[in-house]
Amino acid sequence: MSEPLLRVDGLSRHFPMAGGAQLRAVEQVSFSLAAGEVVALVGESGSGKSTLARTVLGLYDKTAGRVYYQGERLPGHYRAADFRRQAARMQMVFQDPGGTLNPRLTVGESLAEPLLLSGRRSEVAARVADWLGRVGLDPSAAGRYPHEFSGGQRQRLGIARALIAGPALVVCDEPVSALDVSVQAQIVNLLMRLRADEGVALLLIAHDLALVRHIADRVLVMYRGEIVEEAPVARLFAAPQHPYTALLLASCPSGDPARRLPQPAPVQGLEVGAEGCQFAPRCPRATARCQQRPALSEVGEQGRVACHHPLGEEAPRSAT
Amino acid sequence: MSLLTVRDLRVGIRTAAGVVQAVRGVDFALAAGETLALVGESGCGKSMTALALMGLTPPGATVSGEVTLEGQSLLPLSPARRNALRGARMGLVFQNPMGAFNPTMRVGDQIAEVLRSHRNLSAREAGARAVALLARMQVTRPAERARQYPFEFSGGMLQRAMVAMAVACEPPLLIADEPTTALDVTVQAEVLALLRELVEERRIGLLLITHDFGVVAEIADRVAVMYAGQLVEQGPVQAVFRAPAHPYTAGLQAALPRLEGPRQDTLTTIPGTPPSLLSPPPACGFVDRCPRAMSICAAQAPGWFDAGDAHRSRCWLWHAECPQDGQRGSRPRIGPADSEEVSGE
Amino acid sequence: MTAAVDFQPLERAPRAELPSQPAPSLWQAAWRRLKRNPRALMGGWAIILMAAFTVLGPWVWQVDPGAQAPARASLGPQAGYWAQVVTDEAWQPAPLQAPEPLTLVVDEANTARVRLRWTALPAAEGYRLFRHERMPRSATDLGLPLAELSPAETAYEDKLRLRARDYVYTLQAMLPEGGERQVRVQVRPGHAITSYEAKLQGLLAIGEPVAVEQLYLPAHPLGTDHLGRDMLARLMEGARTSLFIGLLAPLLFVGLGSVYGALAALLGGAWDDWMMRFADFIVALPFLLFVILIRIAFGIGPGESGILALVVAMVMLGWPTSARLVRAQVLQLREQGFVEAARLSGAGYGYLVVRHLLPNVSAIILVALSFAVPQAIFTEAFLSFIGMGVTPPTASWGAMANDGMQTLFNHPQQLLLPSLLISITVLAFNALGDALRDELDVRAGERL
């Protein structure tokens, strides 16, 4: 099999905390991403999905592990020159539409930045105008300031800035969670269209499972800094293997008042030490074996799960 | 008789640019044991409506209209009287529980304090009640938790403690403003279930303010959809979800990606942005974004039209003389439930 | 209107997605809002007037603020006037020849002296001389007793604080067995200056014979201080000192603090920790003690003027406030998408600071500056007032207020005038700072 676009191998990122302890925000994460593929990273707040994405991009130093882009190993600590080389490979779309553009620069100046910084100074104005059009804005918007635009428009400008240098991979950090529903749909449609037109691969960080189901090809589920399950999107929603994935799915409102979620059953979890499965305290299936951390192992085709007691085919979502 | 009635509620907020008419004549009623969801997007006035009911509007805001709780008119009351009502007759739950607790006081003491100020309980009784309340909210090891400080609680636990504080004096009305927005989905499911139980168990009237249709579907009995400072649709939750009677509601529902069914190629979007409430449009506020807009919509503001059993819509499409696919008087096709038929034509 | 027409679908032109009106940049918008803000207007104009007073004032009002005139000390507002020059020879009055006894005549009447002579009353056992500022209303209402004279004296020279106004002199001759006789004369002394006084003020050359009879004495629109120096000129001179210190010190310490804070935030980690602990340490130093120490280190004794020491002390101790402010802002900015996006595109430190960080903290720095200026002016005034800053003869508002304390009860304007200018300036800068803080808000463009 040929080398994937991005391969992450045993990546960890720890943060020092007060008292000398280490916060293991990302611990031993491995995955790969093919060209043009949309991979979603889901999990609750604090699960490390944002840290993982930023570590992959080099915004955070790597504590351990390696990242390969088309087989080329990326540095553990980035200097400005490393970012300049990477600008045409990987870019990012940010969550907060208010902070995604510098309020003191015109939209055109913000959009031109990736081009100018990575040394492509030809036809900058034409490219900016072209990209404004592609995200559905008038080219004359280049002379305007960010505060003149709505949240959704700013998010589109953020997407244009991420794509203008022609990267093969764009990390989208909760690109719509700060937006209203009617605007979310515009952004989601835009991302889908750009993916089809440009063939760009997306690493999508999201907590909204319905959105993930709509956009993603493959899903990585994170819990406390580790990947606990990986599966193609259809498989994941039809037959989650990890009890945590199952819990996430079971907690999502169906959007249908006729089928409300059942009362969550109280769970008698298992207290485990630092070496145990992190989910055991909340897990209805925990046994003594869970005192040992389960490895991420293959289940079925293209799927992996880190659990001693995966659900198998027994609990498709429709039964809950 | 209704527990809470709101009639022609208007809130204006003075700003440097002029008066923002955040709420422009809102009417609804809430019965005991009922959950009404006030749903809308940011800036639609739903939170300002909630603050006006609580009597917590910001300085510079003018509130008019009529708000009646258990037969008592609230707006003419002095700030001190309204203060006494909060906690005793209406419990409040906010989006950010960390901001609602005093960080330097133990959680149990804060709940007990509410009980003591409204109920004249001794410190010992109030403390015991606080622990019992925390236990009722499914807080594990309640006695131990009551002695902890807010920062020792997780977000979900603190939100339960806040619900405990809100219902401590058994108020007939609970106003919850985005109570689960800051929570993870697994915790959200637990808090929603808890609220549902409380409403049934204590016959509380729950006014839920939210932007999330998923939450509405989970918990509401009735829905009121708010847009540009006005309610545009009101009705039983089943009816509103099955057959939305206002193009705005229909548009919002179509814009949401779904957890089930076939994957859509593109999501339906609502073009444009809501109108500025500094100078609200005289006609329908949705006309610029509406796929079904008619010339009357730009000329005259619609009133309420019946759209079914206890289901009302503020949309000209329901006018008796509005032609529906060539036929007058038949039900207009607005929502996704109808749209499949439409696309089949 | 008929319903059939009204229910026709609405024709709409497809709209381009663009904000309808080009909005101004954040700076332009802030400037427009400032121009409408009453506090900004009030503060801004007051500062402009104060600057004109300080810079242009001495061009218009060319009076030496250091020139002393002891004879003209603590005057109220005065117009300029011509004064007769009088010499200081001793007066040898000849006895007055007049037919009537107890005839009172005025030989000379000017503000330097009023010379009175009278014919002796043979029976008199002595004389009393009174001066009143108006005509006496009763026998006992005679005014200020000037002198009690023996029967042999028949002349008197009055030099007691004379002004150019009407006086009524009453001469009382005391007769045996308690009897008395009075005579009265009304005079209006003309303006005069003694040649000695004129030489002292440099109006006449020393050592030369007095050649002029008249001299023009300058006006004092705000009066003079306790040494006869012109108040207006001194207030202008004091404004220079006060505003110089009040602008220089904040510029230096806000600048230093901003660089320090931005550096701490950018370096982060242990650097940040240590740098901010050091800032905390500086905040904990007692300011007054430090001012005294620096004065000693600079070799400035008590009662000496130390502008440099004052500025050094303010800069050394003043920077942590703005350092904290800027650090917090930069920490916040660092997490913003546009900073991370610029890093992802390969932006270096310098580029980040110049293009993204500085423009976004400049508003905060400006606000910090406009609040630091009144604080520094006030500190200077306070230190000068207690004699730890600028001391006479250098004028500063604080030092002038200190001087004014000495004559507080008789001439309160000497304390009130500099205090008023301090208050106006401090208030103006605070009002402007307040308005700037409101209007320069980075997200102000999003406000309704």
Residues 256 to 275 of A: which have CB under 8 A from any B CB?
Answer: 256-258, 260-261, 263-264, 266
Interface test with C, best of B21, B277, B294, B324 (most C CBs within 10 A): B294
Residues C265-298: pLDDT tens digits? 888 888 899 999 999 999 998 888 888 888 888 8
CA distance B329 to B76: 43
Asked if C360's CB is within 8 angstroms of A83's CB, the reply is no
A109 to chain B, minimum CA–CA distance in Å? Answer: 25
Percent of chain B residues past pLDDT 70, beyond the cut: 93
Question: How much is the pLDDT for B155?
Answer: 86
Please report the DSSP string for B154-216 in residue order.
Answer: -HHHHHHHHHHHHTTT--SEEEEESTTTTS-HHHHHHHHHHHHHHHHHHT-EEEEEES-HHHH
Contacts of C417 (CB under 8 A, 6+ apart): C222, C231, C235, C400, C404
Question: How much is the pLDDT for C281?
Answer: 93
CA distance A172 to A152: 15
Query: Mean of the pLDDT values across residues C411-433?
Result: 89
For residues B249 and B232, the answer to whether their CB atoms sit within 8 Å is yes
User: Which of B184, B215, B268 shows the shortest C-beta gap to A185?
Assistant: B268
Residues of chain C with Cβ-Cβ distance to B293 below 8 Å are: 9-10, 12
Question: How much is the pLDDT for A102?
Answer: 92
Say which residue the tokens 């529980």 belong to.
B97
Percent of chain B residues past pLDDT 90, beyond the cut: 52
CB atoms within 10 A of CB C272: 17
For residues C112 and C194, the answer to whether their CB atoms sit within 8 Å is yes
Determine the residue of chain B that is closest to C445 in CA distance.
B17
Question: How much is the pLDDT for B172?
Answer: 94
Asked if A136's CB is within 8 angstroms of C17's CB, the reply is yes
Residues of chain C with Cβ-Cβ distance to B297 below 8 Å are: 10
Say which residue the tokens 């979900």 belong to.
B156
Residues B211-250: pLDDT tens digits? 999 999 999 999 999 999 999 999 999 999 998 999 999 9
Say which residue the tokens 């000329």 belong to.
B299
Interface test with A, best of B197, B269, B311 (most A CBs within 10 A): B269
The answer to whether the Cα torsion of C260, C262, C265, C266 is positive or negative is negative
- Which of the other chains make 3 or more beta carbon contacts under 8 angstroms with chain A? B, C
Determine the residue of chain B that is closest to C37 in CA distance.
B16
Residues B11-40: pLDDT tens digits? 999 887 788 999 999 999 999 999 999 999
Residues C211-226: pLDDT tens digits? 777 888 777 888 888 7
| Mean model confidence pLDDT for chain C | 83
Percent of chain C residues past pLDDT 90, beyond the cut: 13
Residues of chain C with Cβ-Cβ distance to A103 below 8 Å are: 26, 360, 442-443, 445
Interface test with B, best of A47, A174, A182 (most B CBs within 10 A): A182
Contacts of A299 (CB under 8 A, 6+ apart): A241, A305, A310
Paired tokens of A296: 């991420």
Chains A, C: CB pairs < 8 Å: 119
User: Which of A150, A210, A248 shows the shortest C-beta gap to B258?
Assistant: A210
Question: How much is the pLDDT for C445?
Answer: 39
Interface test with B, best of A147, A176, A180, A252 (most B CBs within 10 A): A180
Residues of chain B with Cβ-Cβ distance to C20 below 8 Å are: none
Say which residue the tokens 């009130």 belong to.
C416
**pLDDT above 80 (res C115):** yes
Asked if B16's CB is within 8 angstroms of C7's CB, the reply is no
Distances C110 to A180, C85, C96, C187, C282 between C-alpha atoms, Å: 90, 10, 20, 9, 63
User: Which of C9, C15, C33 shows the shortest C-beta gap to B294?
Assistant: C9
Residues C119-153: pLDDT tens digits? 888 888 889 999 998 888 887 888 889 989 888 88
- CA C286 to chain CA centroid, Å, is 28
Asked if B214's CB is within 8 angstroms of A44's CB, the reply is no
DSSP class of residue C397 equals H
Asked if B299's CB is within 8 angstroms of C448's CB, the reply is no
- Which of the other chains make 3 or more beta carbon contacts under 8 angstroms with chain C? A, B
Asked if A253's CB is within 8 angstroms of B218's CB, the reply is yes
> Which of A138-152, C382-396, C402-416 bottoms out in mean pLDDT, i.e. has the lowest?
C382-396
Asked if A83's CB is within 8 angstroms of C344's CB, the reply is yes
Model confidence at C395, in pLDDT bands (50, 70, 90)? confident
Residue spans of alpha helices (H) in C335-357: 337-344, 349-351
Residues B87-105: pLDDT tens digits? 889 999 998 888 889 999 9
Question: How much is the pLDDT for B235?
Answer: 95
What are the backbone dihedrals phi and psi of residue B328, each rounded to the nearest 5 degrees, phi first? -85, 145
What are the backbone dihedrals phi and psi of residue C99, each rounded to the nearest 5 degrees, phi first? -65, -40
**pLDDT above 60 (res B330):** no
B132 to chain A, minimum CA–CA distance in Å? Answer: 18
Residues of chain C with Cβ-Cβ distance to A141 below 8 Å are: 18-19
Residues B158-168: pLDDT tens digits? 999 999 999 99
Residues of chain C with Cβ-Cβ distance to B15 below 8 Å are: 447-448
User: Which of A83, A85, A96 shows the shortest C-beta gap to C337?
Assistant: A96
Say which residue the tokens 């799915």 belong to.
A249
Asked if B215's CB is within 8 angstroms of A264's CB, the reply is no
**pLDDT above 70 (res C358):** yes
- CA B59 to chain CA centroid, Å, is 22
Determine the residue of chain B that is closest to A136 in CA distance.
B271
Residues B296-328: pLDDT tens digits? 888 889 999 998 889 999 999 888 888 765 555
**pLDDT above 80 (res C18):** no
Helices C358-385 + C413-439 axis angle, to 10: 170
Question: How much is the pLDDT for C165?
Answer: 85
**pLDDT above 60 (res C442):** no
Residues of chain B with Cβ-Cβ distance to C8 below 8 Å are: 294-295
C8 to chain B, minimum CA–CA distance in Å? Answer: 5
Query: Mean of the pLDDT values across residues B61-86?
Result: 92
pTM, two decimal places: 0.78
Higher pLDDT, A6 or C89: A6
**pLDDT above 70 (res B270):** yes
Residues B177-201: pLDDT tens digits? 999 988 888 889 989 999 999 999 9
Asked if C5's CB is within 8 angstroms of B295's CB, the reply is yes
Residues of chain C with Cβ-Cβ distance to A114 below 8 Å are: 341, 344-345
Q: Is A84 helix (H, G, I), strand (E, B) or coil?
A: helix
User: Which of A210, A251, A254 shows the shortest C-beta gap to B188?
Assistant: A251
Paired tokens of C423: 């208050």
Model confidence at C22, in pLDDT bands (50, 70, 90)? low
Cα–Cα–Cα angle for A144, A150, A155, nearest 5°? 90
Please report the DSSP string for C294-326 in residue order.
Answer: HHHHTTPPTT---HHHHHHHHHHHHHHHHHHHH
Percent of chain A residues past pLDDT 90, beyond the cut: 57
Which amino acid belongs to residue A206? A
CA distance B69 to B4: 5
Asked if B293's CB is within 8 angstroms of C10's CB, the reply is yes
Cα torsion through C287, C290, C295, C298, rounded to 10: -130
H-helix or E-strand spanning residue C169: strand C167-174
**pLDDT above 60 (res B273):** yes
Tell me which residues of chain A have a pLDDT lower than 70: 1, 313-320
Complex prediction ipTM = 0.89
For residues C356 and C342, the answer to whether their CB atoms sit within 8 Å is yes
Chains B, C: CB pairs < 8 Å: 42
Asked if B193's CB is within 8 angstroms of A264's CB, the reply is yes
Query: Mean of the pLDDT values across residues B241-263?
Result: 88
Contacts of C318 (CB under 8 A, 6+ apart): C249, C250, C253, C254, C257, C372, C376
Say which residue the tokens 């242009």 belong to.
C56
